[in-house]
Structure 1
Amino acid sequence: MKAGNIEQFKHLSQFRDLKDFNNNIEQWMIDLKPKFTKSELIALKRLIRYSAKVAGVCNAKIQTLVSACHEAGQEISRSTFERMLRKAKQFGLVKVINTFKGNGKQSHNVYVFQRYLISSTIEVPAQETIDVPKETSNLSKTSNQNNINKRNENVQKENLDGSYTSNRVPVEFRDLVKCFFDDAKTIEEFWKVIHIQTYYLSYYSPDDRISLAIDSFKQMVRNIKRGRKIRNIFGYYWGIVKNKLDAEYESILFEVA
């Protein structure tokens, strides 16, 4: 790939916007933070900061990034930065793309952060089954039903991924949840919890609901990754949302008193 301005590499971004990028980085860090040394984390955080103009993409030189760390009072070596990159590539966090100058000589690399992958440690809840109506004794109805069934056989009987989620679910919440549960029905069920619990909270804006949904989901994921055993994922999420709303209500009462 030919070297150039960062705007030239917009098409490499894996993220909808900077907020989406930050959400994915937070989830990556839950898994990967312990795998980096303190110095390597300094290098990684600097690379993340330089990947903000085009969400998740950086084309700065390694020396520029190392110098920026020094200027911030966080002295690291070039070898530390390169070691961090090797680990990030190994874990699937970053993809490194080589670029070349017009004369064919190699230029500095482009670093492309990858979306957080569905964790194998979290089980996707079983999906609800749909009851099939019983056959009627009417011959014409039975014939019509058979024709419908034949047509349905041509449709793949698979769960729909997150891209098929109802447009009633905010995009920000959908993009976060599908990192773990890439299933439209599951994402909609999580959002239904928010809809029900805030239905009578007239002072809650759409942004308030999104913030509540995202914060609660992140807390649930953190607890699961720290070893919490959960039988009913939706019931557990319901409890987290309820506790947050109860704490908010108590805070309001304290301020009024």
Structure 2
Amino acid sequence: MKAGNIEQFKHLSQFRDLKDFNNHIEQWMIDLKQKFTKSELIALKRLIRFSAKVAGVCNAKIQTLVSACHEAGQEISRSTYERMLRKAKKFGLLIVYNTKKENGKQSHNVYVFQRYQSQIVSDSSTIDVPESAKIDGAYKTNNLSKTNNHINKRNENVLDASYTNNRVPAEFRDLVKCFYDDYKTIEELWKVIYIQTYYLSYYTQQDRLELALDSFKQMVRNIKQGRKVHNIFGYYWGIVGAILDREYVNTLHEMYEEYAS
């Protein structure tokens, strides 16, 4: 890959816009923040800031990034930056592309952030959905907290789904309570839908409900098939985002076909 202006690498961006990039970074940090040292986090956050002009893409030199940290009063070494990059690549947060100058000599790298994918961490977080709970693709109102692998261990202080805020659609509440009979979990899952569709002015409440139901069913199906999930909210966020991304791409294709005709 030839070295060049940041605009040359726009095609490498994995995100619709800066907001989309920031949303994915927030979810990555839920899973990965504890895996970086304090100095490495300083380096990572600086790289994120330098990846704003083209959402999720940066082609600044490491020394430029290190100097920027120093200017902000956060002194770190080049080796800290390189250690952060190795970890970020290992976790799937970053892809690093090498570039070359016109004379063939190596130039600075291009750093491309990746869309969020939930990290598989703990076997104890698996939900076991028994076959007896299924009826023609739907689910009975069985309380799955009785299974050994339920992610939320119930106790006397947990308030059930009947305490869910009335802003959450009843149909979504009734589906989720089959697996997580806890009002806080239900409300947090619905909050994911609200945040992800906040700027989609064309989305009706019915559209949000259908998105929420489809995403939750996909999450349960994936976990039933063996996917181990450390953070159900982060994983749910990723599923919702993927569905919206596909919808966005399909809309572009329809607009193109309409224009072409």
TM-score where L is the length of structure 1: 0.51
Distance 1:170 1:12, change over 3 A: farther
Partners of 1:65 and 1:87 in 2: CA distance: 17
1:45-83 CA-to-partner distances (Å, cap 9, x unmatched) read 000000000000000000000000000000000000000
Distance 1:190 1:23, change over 3 A: farther
Once the two structures are superposed, the pairs formed by residues 69-80 of structure 1 within 5 Å of their partners are 69-80=69-80
User: Does the 8 Å CA contact 2:18/2:52 hold for their aligned counterparts?
Assistant: yes
Between Structure 1 and Structure 2, how many residues are aligned? 151
User: 4+ residue stretches of structure 1 with deviation over 6 A?
Assistant: 124-128
Distance 1:191 1:98, change over 3 A: closer
Offset of 1:221 from its aligned partner?
2.0
Gaps of 5+ in 2: 139-192, 199-207, 217-230, 237-261
User: Does the 8 Å CA contact 1:94/1:112 hold for their aligned counterparts?
Assistant: yes
Distance 1:63 1:122, change over 3 A: farther
Offset of 1:189 from its aligned partner?
2.1
Aligned to 1:79, the other structure's residue is in SS state helix
Identity %: 71
**Residue 19 of structure 1: aligned partner:** 19
Distance 1:51 1:77, change over 3 A: same
Code of the aligned partner of 1:14 = Q
**Residue 116 of structure 2: aligned partner:** 116
In the alignment, which of 120, 126, 136 is matched to residue 129 of structure 1? 136
Gaps of 5+ in 1: 132-168, 175-183, 193-218, 225-257
Partners of 1:92 and 1:9 in 2: CA distance: 19
Partners of 1:91 and 1:100 in 2: CA distance: 26
Partners of 1:13 and 1:68 in 2: CA distance: 23
In the alignment, which of 155, 158, 173 is matched to residue 197 of structure 2? 173
User: Does the 8 Å CA contact 1:20/1:172 hold for their aligned counterparts?
Assistant: no
Aligned to 1:116, the other structure's residue is in SS state coil
**Residue 189 of structure 1: aligned partner:** 213
Q: CA-atom RMSD, angstroms? A: 3.5
Partners of 2:39 and 2:55 in 1: CA distance: 24
Partners of 2:66 and 2:73 in 1: CA distance: 11
Offset of 1:12 from its aligned partner?
0.3
Code of the aligned partner of 1:129 = D
Partners of 1:118 and 1:51 in 2: CA distance: 22
**Residue 61 of structure 2: aligned partner:** 61
Partners of 1:124 and 1:186 in 2: CA distance: 24
**Residue 99 of structure 2: aligned partner:** 99
Distance 1:50 1:5, change over 3 A: same
1:194-230 CA-to-partner distances (Å, cap 9, x unmatched) read xxxxxxxxxxxxxxxxxxxxxxxxx9727x9xxxxxx
**Residue 31 of structure 1: aligned partner:** 31
Partners of 2:135 and 2:46 in 1: CA distance: 44
Distance 1:72 1:171, change over 3 A: closer
Code of the aligned partner of 2:136 = T
Offset of 1:130 from its aligned partner?
5.5
Once the two structures are superposed, the pairs formed by residues 200-215 of structure 1 within 5 Å of their partners are none
Offset of 1:92 from its aligned partner?
0.6
**Residue 152 of structure 2: aligned partner:** none
Aligned to 1:95, the other structure's residue is in SS state strand
